[in-house]
Amino acid sequence: MIYLDNAASTQIHDDVLESMLPYLKEQYGNASSIHRYGRLAHKAIEKARKQIAQLINAEPSEILITSGGTESNNTVLRGISRSGSSDKIITSLIEHDAILEPCKNLSKSGLIIDYLPVDNFGMVDPQELQNRLSDNTCLVSIMFGNNEVGAIQKISEIAKICNERKIPFHTDAVQAVGKIPIDVKELGIDLLSISSHKLNGPKGIGALYIKNGIEIDPVILGGGQENGLRSGTENVANIVGFGKACEIAKNHLDENMAYVSKLRDLLVDKVLHEIPEVTLNGDPKSRLPNNAHFTFLGVNGEDLIIKLDEYGIAASTGSACSVNTQKASHVLQAMGFSHEQITGSLRLTMGVFNTAEEIEQTVVHLKKIVEELRSFSPFKEKYSFNSKN
């Protein structure tokens, strides 16, 4: 198998798995218990909290452990909207459904949701945000790096605008943390969502960075864990694994970023030069190092995925969380893509465990598959599908 769907989930690192095992077997105490088992579990959680904080240059006290990016996003949207008197949230049209669906639900209760447009590269215009801010804005939530086309937003500019108006700024950084340098203090970010399984950690665990001084209401009540913001018995093993994954990501960030970028550039170069009528989507420069999103005109993206899977290559058309809904990509729609361009899209996302040989092999198969699918495409008369040398 060649796994090129790392935006959906990543392979757990061996050292991460090893760090988790003691807390699945010998050290199985409840972190809220006062006996030795409980104290050891609590100590392990606080060590992990520090590791998570260090990856984004936050304070351990600013890290709220959650079940992942979706819960982190929901916690921000619901917690902020409950705690203040303002009644407008500003977000963008290309957010993950973990932002868009809660916003849609909140709008039913009277909250105003203002959606910022994007350009054909998937970029938000900070000036447009500036124009839409008002006294009743309680939160701005703009994703760091897009999960489909990989566009990295102008986070520093956006944060500065929000900071000047004293409006909390949240960013869904699930796709970016551990892949590119992120310093929440330097960038001026107030709230930030992270998910463990996007950076070679276990699934079902994540975090929300909440800058000291930011008021947010709890969404889950009960036993008072996580300083009363997120009740529920802690998943110690997963938290430990998450912390270890963050530590590894921090220690190898530069080399991993360079390595994965090299794989992406190899893939992009070969696809664009060897396959006709194909475009690279998203900003060509301001993009996540592991993301390559293409449109193959005259080809159905789902057919591409099925054919690639027959060759043992895992890919996707976009967010794994919305595959079963069978709806057109809202991200590509917001970027102004036609139906034909949307249906011909393919996302290939690399990780630290991929190799150049896998990229070479993927392009060989992809070239053959695209040529085959185009041979009976209804658009073959419209485009020149002659193979490139």
Residues 227-236: tens digit of each pLDDT: 889 999 999 9
> Annotated catalytic sites, by residue?
321
- pLDDT-derived band at 226, boundaries 50, 70, 90: confident
Q: 2-8+252-374 sits in which CATH class?
A: alpha beta
Q: What one-letter code names the amino acid at 289?
A: P
Question: What's the pLDDT score for residue 228?
Answer: 84
- Reported confidence tier of residue 291, pLDDT bands at 50, 70, 90: very high
Please state which of the ranges 219-228, 281-290, 322-331, 362-371 shows the lowest mean pLDDT.
322-331
Q: Residue 61: count other Cβ atoms within 10 Å of its Cβ.
A: 11
**Considering Cα of 227, then 232, then 237, then 241, what sign does the dihedral take?**
negative
What does pLDDT average to over the chain? Answer: 93
- Spell out the domain ranges in the chain: 2-8+252-374
Q: Read off the pLDDT band of 324 (50, 70, 90).
A: low
Q: Sorting pLDDT into bands at 50, 70 and 90, what band is 84?
A: low
List, for residues 102-141, the tens digit of each pLDDT value: 999 999 988 999 999 999 999 999 999 999 999 999 999 9
Q: pLDDT, tens digit, for every residue of 169-214?
A: 999 999 999 999 999 999 999 999 999 999 999 999 999 999 999 9
